[in-house]
A and B are shown apart, each in its own frame.
Chain A
Amino acid sequence: MTALLRCAGLHKSFGGVRAVQDISLEVAAGAVQAVIGPNGAGKSTLLNLLSGVYPPSAGRIEFEGRDLAGLPAHRRARLGIARTFQKIRLFKQLTLLENVLAGFHIHHRIPWWQYPFPAGSARADRARCHDEAHRLLAFVGLADRTDTRAGSLAYGQQRMLEIARALATAPKLFMLDEPAAGLNSAEVEFLLGRLNELRGRGLTLVVVEHNMDLVMSVADRVFVMDHGEFLFEGPPAEVQRHPGVIAAYLGAEALA
């Protein structure tokens, strides 16, 4: 398999805090790559570096063989990189439908004059986007809430809406930052089904997650970080046996 995403020697410091240190990672096209580690391990920082929220202090990121240095987040989205946020960032005052519609930003095909004076192509585009948005909302189990304001959704539903909105960009690489955080077991089960469905469609996933059950059942490879540094990389079965990983999670005494 060829690598869709490749990063080498990534560093990020905030003031004196080294959030990410010398991280190198390759994600194969079509693979599900989990990123795990204790709180403060630098997982979200890594995701922010990959998606372009802020630039790395050092290191290189390539997507489809293309160097992403200096490319802002909105340009990376155009290349096919989508993401969700650990701390949910929905358009709270907008409806579910409007949230997903905003996700089609890079895919509209309308001549400029039809924005103020809509005619054929604007109406066709609108119909197409509405159909697709309803389909995506149905995919995450929110088909019956399209006109609800996003801010009034339950927590778990907000996480699912964020997934639908990101999928509207039709990404090649989809990065989820703790998608199961705050979800009850039924919701985790549903999420797992959706992630497997996306994997089945050939979408490449990077999943930052704490929920080990989810990681073990969805991931092809697991990347473990601790204190901003690389700890281990391998298939899920090996991670659970790795002494360093157990030490990082349970404390060094657990091994003694």
Chain B
Amino acid sequence: MSERGRRWLGIAAAVAVIALLPVIAQGSAYWHGIMIICALNVLLAISLNLVIGYTGQLNLGQSAFYGIGAYVTTVLVQTLKWNFWLAMAAGALAAGLVGIVLAVFAFRLRGHYLAIASLAFAVITYQILINWVSVTKGPLGIYGIAPPPPIALGPVTIAFTSPANLFYLVAGIGLVVYVALGNLISSPIGETLRAIREDEVSAAALGVNGKLWKVFAFALGSAISGLAGAFYPGFVGTLVPDAFFIIESFTLLAMVIVGGMGTMIGPVIGAVLLTVLPELLRGIGDLRLLVYGLALTLVVLFMPGGIVQAARAIWARVRPARAAPGTAS
């Protein structure tokens, strides 16, 4: 099958899964909630992967952009009575602009140094959310946040007070972003970002402006996380800074690594797995975190390339007759 054919088949399969999931959940509010969180985490993980996996910039501050998107959207809607969709765009834009600030750090800092700077950046953002009480209401949080307003499509009105519809909305946005980002990564822009990841000096010798493309990757990655943030408060109903504590950044990083850094599908698998697994383990009480931590450690130890790389290696062994599987793209 052609590459384009496979891509359309993949999109069709994703649409089918998204359409069927609420049916399988049979109206369970609990599982609908997990599905929505899954979809948000997929958006966050693929945006972080753009920066870490493809551009090679060790960013430990992604939770900050999630928070910025959530707070900007909510404050604009609650306090300034903006239209939600406009506020959502503003939230994503604000996160993207702040992402450019972090990109400027990446002009000079590499590897571990950038990791520390981005971590500090996430801590500062968290402190601002806590202490800027007049705008964010501080640690008390913002309450009574409504879901996105209904959309009228001719005679049909889609209300997002229904968890299934909210899931369709977030998962639909997730799918569009995934496809667009996947195309971007397969385009010459993807070649450019990976060139920067591999060797900035020789990328420059080929005419690549490293600063410009880092700004691009950070801005786009941050804007996508900000977009995810726009939907989080309306789903939970409340907004507190603790939702964007730095631990969230590490969880996102774990999703990217477990799934497979520098692949498109890897972070999706990682995000779903690391969202659903802790829920499935609720039955065993406090042992849950122990099992979760152990599973993470085992994956990193025995599948350093993540689940996707491990699956490819197994596939290559099972089907040796076929041509070597395509490399990470």
Residues of A within 8 A of B (CB): 51-53, 72-75, 77-78, 82-83, 85, 89-95, 98, 101-106, 108, 110, 114-118, 122, 125, 129, 147, 149, 165-166, 168-169
Contacts and interface: CB of A to CB of B under 8 A. Distances in A.
Main secondary structure of the interface of B (DSSP, over half): helix
A94 B205 contact: no
Given A89-B202, A105-B192, A169 B187 contact: no
Closest 4 CB pairs of A and B: A77-B207, A91-B198, A116-B180, A106-B207
Interface in B184-215: 184, 186-189, 191-192, 194-195, 198-199, 201-210
22 contacts: A73-B204, A74-B203, A74-B208, A74-B209, A74-B210, A77-B206, A82-B205, A94-B195, A94-B327, A101-B188, A101-B191, A102-B195, A105-B206, A110-B188, A115-B188, A116-B184, A118-B183, A118-B186, A125-B188, A147-B324, A147-B326, A165-B202
A122 B198 CA distance: 24
Given A72-B204, A108-B188, 20 more contacts: A74-B205, A77-B204, A78-B207, A82-B205, A82-B206, A83-B205, A90-B198, A90-B199, A90-B202, A92-B198, A98-B194, A102-B195, A103-B206, A105-B195, A105-B203, A105-B207, A105-B208, A117-B183, A129-B188, A169-B207
A105 B191 contact: yes
A115 B207 contact: no
Contacts of B203: 74, 102, 105
Contacts of A78: 207
B205 A166 contact: yes
Contacts of A168: 206
B202 A74 contact: no
A73 B207 CA distance: 7
A88 to B, nearest CB: 9
Contacts of B188: 101, 104-105, 108, 110, 115, 125, 129
Nearest to B262: A93
Interface residues of B, number: 28
Interface of B: 180-181, 183-184, 186-189, 191-192, 194-195, 198-199, 201-210, 324, 326-328
Contact of B206 (A102, A122, A125, A129): A102
A118 B186 CA distance: 10
Given A90-B199, A91-B198, A116-B180, A51 B327 contact: no
Contacts of B326: 147
A83 B204 CA distance: 11
A165 B324 contact: no
A73 B327 CA distance: 30
Contacts of B192: 102, 105
